[in-house]
Chain A
């Protein structure tokens, strides 16, 4: 017989419940374990009709590809938090893209501006990232 720790939701019998959704916590199921979190800003600009990419990098040092998440905002609409980045198409063919990739020791963020409009367009993306200890084993 295996032993476990479980905490059921209010009104649910912890001794008889079986569905994962009946528990606040059950040692039968893995959870995400925080490692580190932070913020990084990446600024850039593009002169018509160019596309430019700008990068920011943080070091996590885990030695493997960890589970990660992040939200990104475009400073032109700083109240909108987009999970795992965004592609924002603006007036006149202006496109801003925010995304990230993970390595075994670093995480790199990219902010791309495509100016299909005119003049010079500038902007800044802010990335709010969380890295977990969970190894993706990829």
Chain B
């Protein structure tokens, strides 16, 4: 007999529930494990409209991981964090392109959309298991 650990949501019978969505935790279902996380500071120098820079940091893993990342920046709209997938974020000053990982690094590509002074970007990545 296989033994499992399960915690159901409030009001749900843990002994009879079968829908994965009924559980807070179920040891038979894989979880999204964060195997590495880190931060990196990047500065995109002033250079006019469309200046693009890449910020990279080593993830230290032996495989190419799936990654999610966020960038903190301050603009006239205040300080926020953004996920770099959409072409344009709220502030017209900063347009984020992408985040990706290779066998060594996690990379953030950032584009500055207006002619502003060098801007510092605080970037954080999360690397998950299940090698790509």
Residue of B nearest to A104 (CB): B79
Q: Among B43-51, B52-60, B107-115, B123-131, which stretch is in contact with chain A?
A: B123-131
Does any Cβ of B come within 8 Å of A103's Cβ? yes
What is the interface residue range for chain B against chain A?
35 or more
Q: A101-B81, A103-B80 are in contact. Are A20 and B86 (CB under 8 A)?
A: no
Determine whether the beta carbon of A32 is less than 8 Å from that of B32: yes
Q: Which residues of A contact B70 (CB under 8 A)?
A: 65, 67, 102, 136, 138
Determine whether the beta carbon of A32 is less than 8 Å from that of B80: no
CA distance A54 to B15 in the complex (A): 47
**Taking beta carbons and an 8 Å cutoff, which residues of B are in contact with A?**
4-5, 25, 27-35, 37, 39, 68, 70, 72, 78-83, 85-90, 122, 124, 126, 129-131
Chain A, residues 25-57, CB within 8 Å of chain B (1/0): the string is 110011110000000000000000000000100
Does any Cβ of B come within 8 Å of A113's Cβ? no
Q: A9-B30, A31-B32, A67-B126 are in contact. Are A102 and B82 (CB under 8 A)?
A: yes
Determine whether the beta carbon of B34 is less than 8 Å from that of A65: no
Determine whether the beta carbon of B88 is less than 8 Å from that of A23: no
Determine whether the beta carbon of A101 is less than 8 Å from that of B29: no
B89 contact from A24, A32, A101, Cβ within 8 A:
A101
Q: Which residues of B contact A20 (CB under 8 A)?
A: 33, 35, 129
**Taking beta carbons and an 8 Å cutoff, which residues of A are in contact with B?**
5, 7, 9, 20-21, 23-26, 29-32, 55, 65, 67-69, 83-87, 97-103, 108, 110, 112, 136-138
CA distance A88 to B20 in the complex (A): 34
Residue of B nearest to A99 (CB): B86
Q: Which residues of B contact A7 (CB under 8 A)?
A: 4-5, 27-28
